[in-house]
Structures are given as C-alpha cells and as structure tokens.
C-alpha cells in the first residue's frame, strides 16, 4: 500500500467504469502493474466492491430524512431486534448505532410526507424498545462520497 495504490483508489472511488489503461495513465504506470494492483486491492477487500449510483429523485424518492432514534434498553436483545427489523425496511438506506444522546441514526428515503409518516409511525415506532424518534429533513446535499 503506497501512494500509487491510494491514487488508484481515489480514481475508482470517483468512477469505477474506467478501464485499466485510463487508470494506468492517471497513476503513471503501465497497464500490467496497474491491473495487478487493482486485483490485489480487491483481494485484500480494501476495494469491497463496485456499485451503481442511483439518482433517487428521478425514481420519485427524493425526500431524504435523518432520524435519531432512542431505545429503552441497551441490551443485546433490544439492539439486535431493532437492527433486524431495519434490514427489511426498504426506505432505510443507512443504519448507524451511535454514541451520544440517542442510539441510532437512520437515513431514510421516501417519496412524500405520507410515505414518511407511514415509515415512521407504522414501521419504526412499532418496533419493540423504540422510545423516541426525531427527524431532520435534507434540504440540500452539498457533498457526497461513498466509503464503507
């Protein structure tokens, strides 16, 4: 792992559909070693995979909300139940267990406020142990990078 690997990662983080030749010229190597480095990064799972970036506004799910959720007990059971339920809620894009004044920070994509209401009231508040939900809606996203 050196600066060339970091350049390869930076390039693929922006656009994964570049061919090896393009990446090679960006990092100042020829195709062969570039190819080998990419494969190595993939095998080491430093590059975990490749995904398509979807414009959810064009799919009608343009409203993004962050939900701060507090749970009643910090037992493994309550936490595991919550995490399991979350997996099957399509509207939840991201679920982070966090430290601080609340327990989970969720990122949710919905089409409109009825949809949002449905997700929060029907799907989230009904989960065992969920005490409190506080939401913030995204007005504008001004930076976005994907790391996982």
Partner DNA sequence: CTTGAAAAATGTCCCGT
Partner DNA sequence: ACGGGACATTTTTCAAG
Residues that bind DNA (CB under 7 A): 4, 19-21, 28-33, 35-37, 39
| CA dist., res. 113 & res. 136, Å (int) | 13
Name the token pair of 11.
């390039």
**Distance in Å, CB of 88 to its own copies, minimum:** 10
Dihedral angle sign, alpha carbons of residues 25, 30, 35, 37: negative
* Partner from its own copies, DNA, none contacting 59, C-beta within 5 to 8 A by type: its own copies
The entry of DNA, its own copies, none near residue 3 (CB within 5 to 8 angstroms by kind) is none
Strands 63-71 and 104-110: antiparallel
Looking at the Cβ atoms of 23 and 106, the one nearer to DNA is 23
The residue ranges that bind its own copies (CB under 8 A) are 9, 12-17, 44-56, 58-59, 61, 64, 66, 83, 86-87, 92-102, 105, 109, 134-148
Residue 142 partner contact from DNA, its own copies, none using kind-dependent CB cut-offs of 5 to 8 Å: its own copies
Helix (H, G, I), strand (E, B) or coil at 108: strand
Angle between helices 20-27 and 31-43 (to 10 degrees): 100
Nearer to DNA, 25 or 134 (CB): 25
φ and ψ at residue 119, rounded to 5 degrees: -65, -50
When the beta carbons of 36 and 125 are compared against DNA, the nearer one is 36
Closer CB to DNA, 17 or 141, in the complex: 17
Cα gap 65→95, rounded to integer Å: 12
Cβ at position 51, least distance to DNA in Å: 14
């Amino acid at each position: 792992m050196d600066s060339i690997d970091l350049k390869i990662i930076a390039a693929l983080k922006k656009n994964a559909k570049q061919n090896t030749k393009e990446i090679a010229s960006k990092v100042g190597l020829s195709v062969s070693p570039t190819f080998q480095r990419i494969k190595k990064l993939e095998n080491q799972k430093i590059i975990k995979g490749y995904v398509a970036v979807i414009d959810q506004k064009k799919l009608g799910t343009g409203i993004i909300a962050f939900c701060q959720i507090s749970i009643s007990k910090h037992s493994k059971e309550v936490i595991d139940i919550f995490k399991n339920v979350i997996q099957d809620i399509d509207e939840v894009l991201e679920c982070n267990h966090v430290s601080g004044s609340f327990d989970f920070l969720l990122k949710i994509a919905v089409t409109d406020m009825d949809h949002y209401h449905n997700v929060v009231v029907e799907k989230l508040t009904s989960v065992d142990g969920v005490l409190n939900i506080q939401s913030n809606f995204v007005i504008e996203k001004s930076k976005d990078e994907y790391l996982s």
